Structure formats: structure tokens, C-alpha cells
Structure 1
């Protein structure tokens, strides 16, 4: 039960609030950090969930059908440093540079980028607040690079749309002047990372795995990335399989 709740929370945080939006790819990504009994338990729970939803006609297809653990992806590994290095140099737009930095450095979910508010960014304190439905807000502390990127984006936004009342941190030329103040679409984020050449989800996993390799401490992962205890433990075990039967803390 804990495994599937953790997965559902991650999907909701990513803006996937309708079970009909879940695809085979989402399920494969949820299974990606797991191995052994953990993977089998989540796989079985997801199969049962979507069979029940389909039986109740709440979904029209079962995205978990046809997925086998033998064909799911292996334990995630960090991307080669040469693929990560220079990501920001490929981009000119301050908004795009800040969005990529928040994923590559702080492992934000695409849905979190979409729904960030301007008031969530406190540059004087070097903080960014991540709102989480039904849970306490998570605060991340920004490094000097990210703060410079945030300042550059705010300056550009003010120059281009000085009268914009859109409360969201990230806007486009259309949403900036929309009096309804809508968030940017998920497609804007997807297209950005397509241009970069690395999916946002892949960058997020890489960042967390990299931290897990260095610290091997689930508590640190929880503090840095706002992960649940279960997710943090999974990443540590993925990065350090030799600790499967030993203590997790260094």
C-alpha cells in the first residue's frame, strides 16, 4: 500500500490528477528506480488498481497491462557528466535556463515548474517554496548560479511584460497578458527539454541518483528533494545495492 501511495503522490505532484492520463510510460518510470520485491509489489499493486478502475469504468484502458518486470528498465544510473555539462550553454532564454537548472540541480518535477508562483521565489532569502497538496510545503535553498538565473528571468519578464498580473513564476507571451493568469502548459516544458535533448524526468532521476551515490543517506534526499522516506530509500538502494541488507545511513 505504501508503495502505490508514494507513486500516486508523485503523479499528482506532476499534475496527473486524472487516472485516464496515466500511460504505460508513466508506469515504467515508476518502476524504474526499483528492483526485486519492491518492484514486484508496486507492479502488482498498479495492475490491481487499473483493473479495478477499468471494471468501474473510470478508465477505458489499462496502461499497466502488458508491462513485465523483465522488460522494464534497469536500475537508473547517473548520466555521463559530459551529457549534463553545458546544458545551460545550449539555451539563450533566461526562462528556459532557469527551468532547466531547477530540474537538473534541484530535481523539480515538470508539474512543479508549471505551477510555481512568483511569491514562491524569495530571492532575498535564497529560497524557493514548493507547494504540495495535502502535505507541508517544501523549501529549497538556491545556490548562487540559480539565483542569478532567477534574477535574469525576473528582469526579462518585467522588461517584456511590465503590466503582467499573472501570478505564476513562468509565463509565455500568451499567458503573460492573459487576465485570467493561467499557468504555462505542460507542452511548453516538454518542448524545452526536447530541445535540450534530455527528458525532464531523466534529468530529475539522474540528479537524485547522483546525490544518493555521494551521501547514501535517505534523510538527506528527503531534505534536499522533498522525497518521501520510501522514495528516498529506493534511490539509496538503487545507488548502493550492496546495502540491501545493511544500514542505509553512512
Structure 2
């Protein structure tokens, strides 16, 4: 070898990509695969494996430990895996999963279905950590397993963790009674309907400060007296007093109805009518800053829905493609058909064009989607929709309120008109009407004063 190297006297240099040993140009690289490799055929149609007999699982069977499975021991010839890959392919075609998602799902299925037999259930607590450690798609793998009917969701709901945290620090008796009341609020009871989870959170958060204070000297709710409630509410003012007293009344009323206390300590304590402040319109500078912050087609579309059509964040999230009628230029929000103005129509067309180019194969029928929901059928989260306006003076909620207040100022403080226009309930429509009346009266007085002094040219007004 050394003699051959000493015999070399010169080297021929080539530009990169111009010289090949076989003298031919490189094969073009196919998108989504190796260079020159043919497209992988779809899996053959497969159905649930036939099992003529099966071993019944023993009581108290040891759970699977997928994290200790050696990749060399993965059974690629399992009939359960073949069926899972076929179902995964169908879901991928229906929901527009990309190549990366398909590959990750097939890897995850190969991991969790190795050694699977008829009658076994794959639990969320067993596969979450191993799949997450390998950076595989847990949610998409679970979707396929649910389609197969072999998945059991034993994960702890977020509500349970939140409830345990909020009840921390309470006396044992007060804790158990408050927990029962909170669960009745969420799940309903014989004489009560279930409440929304947000309402349950607010109710427990409002009674918690008082319960923490009473837990220092009491063990049960029946020990709390009316004087204790009066002493506590004296430290509160305004909306805080109103909200906490309403929540405490709900707690003690439930306790009295279920025989936990002898009498309600909140009785004959007037909550009072909360006086809402006059709603104020936004100034142009605040709106301009929010418009400047909307830099993407999705955020501009969201901004128009809130500022022009007074749509709530939750209503924007649940809008479907069928709610948009481009031919007749109409939009259906909250069950009401509204005409599309030129600005909203243009922003809607821009968003649909962006949506078609960015996610051409998505099967999600919601109007607004993102990278996470494009491969699913669920709606985008309220947090994602409102994220672009967070920190601005004119948030989406403020823009919605300003639009309804503007309607009341332009067409007069008429609650019936506001109800017909935006579908507001009676109290909310009257609040907007009262705010518009309070804003219009000083303006009318100033106008009359200016007219009386003849400060406007071209007008002849006689003073009485």
C-alpha cells in the first residue's frame, strides 16, 4: 500500500456534484422518502385477529412494563400489529397525518402491541411514560387503540389534582364537606343540575379564604355561626363581597339541605345588588395597537370576528366551515345568521387560502385550526385563540364589549335592539343600554350648552 501511495504524483479535482463513479447523474430525491426509493404501498386490509380460545386474565394481574422492552424483542409479525397498522393508515388518510406522524404511530403501536393477546387491555398509565420517553405520539397511538377497542383510560383527571390542591389546609371535617359540595356542583344531584367546570372552580376559589380562616378554630361547618360570617364579610367590599357571599350561601344551603348543619349562618345577610360600573369605549390608539399585533391570517381573522361581529372566544373556537356561506356572504355565529362585511370577507378569504396551502389534507371541519388540531377533529383551544391579544389593552373580550357598546351608542340605548343584534340576555342588554345612556346624556348636555351659546357657525338658535 505504501508503495502505491508513493507512486501517486498528481490528483484530479472535481466540483461537487459533477463527478460520479458510474458516470451518471444522481437520481432525483423523492419527497417523503429516500433517494430513488419507490413509494411504500399501503398496508393490506386486515381485521381483528380470530381467537378460538383465550386465557382469562388472573385477578390482580401484574401490569405491563413497556419501558423495559428490548427493541430487538418487538414482534413485527403480530396479527394485532397488522390490524393496528391498517387502522392507523385509514385514520391517517382520513385526518391528514403526515409522514412523520405515521412513522411515530407505527413505532408506538409496535411497542405496545408486542405480546398482546385477546382480553388484554392497554392502559394509559402503562404506555404514557414509555412513549413520551421515545418522543412518540401518545395521543395518536391512543386514537388507534381506542379504534381497536383495547384501550382503558385510567389517567387521573386534572380536576382531581386541582381539587386536592385547593382543599389543602382545611380542617378534616370542613374539607370533606366542601369536597362533597364541589362534586355535587360539577356532577349534579337529585335536585341540582351539573355546572360548568369553570363555574365550579370559581365557586370553590371564592369560599376557600373564609374556610381557611375558620379551619383555624373549627372542625366542621356546623360550628360556623352567623357572627363569624358577618365578621368575615366586613373585611370585603364591592364585587369581592358580593361573589364570596353568594358562594358561601350556596355552600351552607347545600349543607342544610343534606343535614350537615342545623341552620344556615348566611340567612338574613343581604347580598345586595351589585352596581356595575359604566362601560367605557376603547380609544383609537388601543385598537391600533391590537391591529398591529395581529400579524398572521389566523389572528387577523380572530380580531375581525371579535371587533366586528362581537363573537366570544369560545364561539370563535367552535365555528365550523359550514357556518361560512361565501356565496350569500353570511356567517352563522351562536345560532344567528349575520351578513359578512367587506373587511371580514376579505380576511376570511385570506385565511381559507392560507388554511388550504398549509394543511391541504386536514379532515378537521373547524374554521380555525393549528398544527396540533390539523391532524385531529377537535377545535383549537381558547388559550391559543386569545394568545395574540394577551397583554394588549384591547383584548378580544374588550373588543367584543366595545363592539356591543358601539351599537348601543349608534342606535340608541335600546335593549331589544341589542338582544336582536347579538343575542344578549335581558340583564346584559340592559347593562349595555344603561352604559350607553350614561355616556350619551353628558354629550347631549354639552351639545345643548354649545348650541345655546351659538358657538356653531351657520346655526341660529334662540335662547329661552
* TM-score range relative to shorter protein: 0.5 to 0.7
Pairs within 5 Å for 1:106-185: 106-131=309-334, 137-178=335-376, 181-185=377-381
Tell me by how many angstroms 1:78 deviates.
0.2
Secondary structure at the aligned position of 2:337 is classed as: strand
Matches of 1:186 and 1:239 in 2, distance apart? 29
Identify the residue that residue 196 of structure 2 maps to in structure 1.
17
Secondary structure at the aligned position of 1:168 is classed as: coil
Q: 1:206 aligns with which of 402, 417, 430?
A: 402
Tell me by how many angstroms 1:161 deviates.
0.6
Identify the residue that residue 76 of structure 1 maps to in structure 2.
279
Contact 2:293 2:388 in 1 (8 A): no
Identify the residue that residue 157 of structure 2 maps to in structure 1.
none
Q: How many residues of Structure 1 are paired with residues of Structure 2 in the alignment?
A: 198
Change (3 A) 1:224 1:99: same
Instruction: Please list the CA deviations of residues 80-113 of structure 1 after superposition, one character each: whole Å capped at 9, or x if unmatched.
Output: 1222236334322111101011101111111101
Contact 2:294 2:303 in 1 (8 A): no
Structure 1 length normalisation: TM-score?
0.67
Q: Are 2:421 and 1:224 equivalent residues in the alignment?
A: yes
Matches of 1:158 and 1:241 in 2, distance apart? 47
Change (3 A) 1:218 1:55: closer
Change (3 A) 1:242 1:175: closer
Q: 2:291 aligns with which of 85, 88, 92?
A: 88
- Compute the RMSD of aligned alpha carbons: 3.5
Identify the residue that residue 37 of structure 1 maps to in structure 2.
none
Matches of 1:205 and 1:24 in 2, distance apart? 27
- Structure with higher Rg: it is 2
Change (3 A) 1:46 1:107: farther
Structure 2 length normalisation: TM-score?
0.38
Q: Structure 2: any 5+ residue segments left out of the alignment?
A: 1-194, 206-237, 256-270, 442-464
Tell me by how many angstroms 1:232 deviates.
1.7
Tell me by how many angstroms 1:198 deviates.
2.6
Q: Structure 1: any 5+ residue segments left out of the alignment?
A: 1-15, 26-39, 58-66, 132-136, 245-250
Change (3 A) 1:204 1:242: closer
Tell me by how many angstroms 1:230 deviates.
3.2
Instruction: Please list the CA deviations of residues 198-222 of structure 1 after superposition, one character each: whole Å capped at 9, or x if unmatched.
Output: 3222111111112111111323322
Contact 1:170 1:184 in 2 (8 A): yes
Secondary structure at the aligned position of 1:201 is classed as: helix
Identify the residue that residue 104 of structure 1 maps to in structure 2.
307
Secondary structure at the aligned position of 1:125 is classed as: coil
Matches of 2:282 and 2:202 in 1, distance apart? 26
Tell me by how many angstroms 1:167 deviates.
1.3
Contact 1:107 1:207 in 2 (8 A): yes
Secondary structure at the aligned position of 1:85 is classed as: helix
Tell which has more relative contact order, 1 or 2 (C-alpha 8 A, sep 6+): 1
Change (3 A) 1:202 1:22: farther
Secondary structure at the aligned position of 2:331 is classed as: strand
Secondary structure at the aligned position of 1:128 is classed as: strand
